[in-house]
Amino acid sequence: MTLGIPDIDPKLDLMLERVVDVPPALVWKCWTEPEHLVRWFTPKPWQTTACKIDLRPGGLFHTEMKGPEGESFSGDGCYLEVEEYRKLTWTNALLPGYRPAAKPEGCGDFFFTAMVFLTPEGDGTRYTAIALHNSETDSQTHKNMGFEDGWSTALNQLIEHAKTI
């Protein structure tokens, strides 16, 4: 484990890491303020239509997404770790207050824990996003859904939006 980043199990975990030309404070703002998150979070042509954030361990992370053909998906999760400008960890396996969640429906139908690490690098940020899964099947399902392309596209949208605020 380096800088709080866990050791990655390639059979269970997916990771996206890039250096972006946006400072950590702006990346953080885009991740933690609903009015910013809705503008970049879902890869186009999908849209994030609503977001609620209670930014504290045990707090709610809620998004609503709509697809280009009217599909919709609503996701609730629980923040586990909140380290300002440095680290966000949340899971869809728990609801606010650490209440166990029912198995998710849609958007993969699996539980995962997401971790986003922001490390200053020059004038920008080393951005590390990790999705932890409890089985090879769930990890492969997430990968097949387009984890790398989707999370990379969303990051590009975050960068583009951050440069406007």
**Per-residue model confidence as pLDDT tens digits over 29-53:** 999 999 999 999 999 999 999 999 9
Number of other CB atoms surrounding residue 120 within 10 Å: 13
Q: Collect all residues with Cβ–Cβ distance below 8 Å to 162 and sequence separation of at least 6.
A: 22, 26, 27, 29, 30
State the CATH architecture for 13-162. Answer: 2-Layer Sandwich (3.30)
Give pTM, 2 decimals.
0.93
**Per-residue model confidence as pLDDT tens digits over 73-109:** 888 999 999 999 999 999 999 999 999 998 876 656 7
What's the half-sphere exposure (Cβ side, CA atoms, 13 Å) at 2? 4
